């Protein structure tokens, strides 16, 4: 009986929270303008610096793991005297490192977009992603948005679409980037 009550109360709380979130989103999206190219560019520069730091940390971790595995002979050195020489000469090791780093950088953007609708750069420049449809933001939509951003090139469409101010990734994923007021950018108001 108590398990059923706990489950029911958590279900009701979740639905009530989603209703409040939807009302807040609706009020923000009705009063906030879409972000222009300048603010988006500044947020992208900020996020690029953070993404580079994330990538460097991820690469460092993977390289240390590879060196430890190679030094302890858990992976063969393939005739090289030092692990660094093998890693630099092997396309397979380089590919593993690049995939690892790319996964972490993509994860950085996807996690922040999913959890709060903002990356660190977007938060600094008071930008936030909202859905243009009634459906909630799903991982598949966010991955679609990430892929079609084309490393930031998709944002150039905002320069040509000055009426609607939507980038390629926004059009394809059904999202919009809004410029928030200082009050709306505060996490307490969400």
pLDDT digits (tens, 9 = 90+) for 48-96: 999 999 999 999 999 999 999 999 999 999 989 999 999 999 999 999 9
**Number of other CB atoms surrounding residue 101 within 10 Å:** 20
Q: What is the pTM of this model?
A: 0.81
Does the pLDDT of residue 16 top 50, yes or no?
A: no
- pLDDT tier at 2, thresholds 50, 70, 90: low
Q: Which of 24-33, 128-137, 152-161 has the lowest mean pLDDT?
A: 24-33
Phi and psi (nearest 5°) for 128? -150, 145
- pLDDT tier at 31, thresholds 50, 70, 90: confident
Mean residue pLDDT of the chain comes to 87
Cα torsion 10, 16, 18, 21: sign:
negative
**Number of other CB atoms surrounding residue 108 within 10 Å:** 19
Does the pLDDT of residue 142 top 80, yes or no?
A: yes
**What average pLDDT does the segment 122-131 reach?**
95
Find how far residue 168's CA is from the centre of its chain.
16
Using an 8 Å Cβ cutoff, are 148 and 168 in contact?
yes
* DSSP sequence for 28-68: HHHHSPBP-HHHHHHHHHHHHHHHHHHHHHHHHHHHHHHHH
Residues 6+ apart with CB under 8 A from 1: none
Distance CA 86, CA 97 (A): 13
Per-residue model confidence (pLDDT) at position 118: 95
Task: Give strand pairing partners of 128.
Answer: 178
- pLDDT tier at 184, thresholds 50, 70, 90: confident
Does the pLDDT of residue 98 top 70, yes or no?
A: yes
């Amino acid at each position: 009986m108590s398990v059923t009550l706990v489950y029911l109360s958590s279900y009701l709380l979740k639905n009530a929270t989603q209703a409040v979130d939807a009302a807040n989103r609706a009020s923000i999206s009705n009063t906030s303008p879409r972000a222009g190219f300048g603010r988006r560019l500044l947020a992208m520069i900020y996020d690029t610096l953070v993404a580079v730091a994330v990538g460097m940390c991820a690469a460092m971790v993977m390289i240390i793991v590879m060196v430890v595995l190679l030094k302890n002979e858990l992976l063969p050195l393939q005739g090289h005297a030092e692990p660094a020489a093998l890693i630099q000469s092997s396309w397979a090791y380089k590919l593993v490192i690049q995939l690892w780093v790319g996964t972490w950088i993509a994860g950085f953007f996807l996690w922040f977009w999913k959890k709060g609708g903002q990356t660190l750069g977007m938060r600094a420049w008071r930008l936030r992603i909202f859905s243009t449809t009634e459906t909630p933001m799903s991982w598949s939509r966010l991955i679609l948005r990430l892929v079609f951003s084309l490393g930031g090139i998709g944002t150039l469409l905002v320069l040509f679409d000055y009426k609607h101010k939507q980038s390629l990734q926004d059009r394809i994923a059904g999202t919009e980037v809004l410029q928030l007021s200082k009050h709306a950018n505060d996490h307490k108001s969400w």
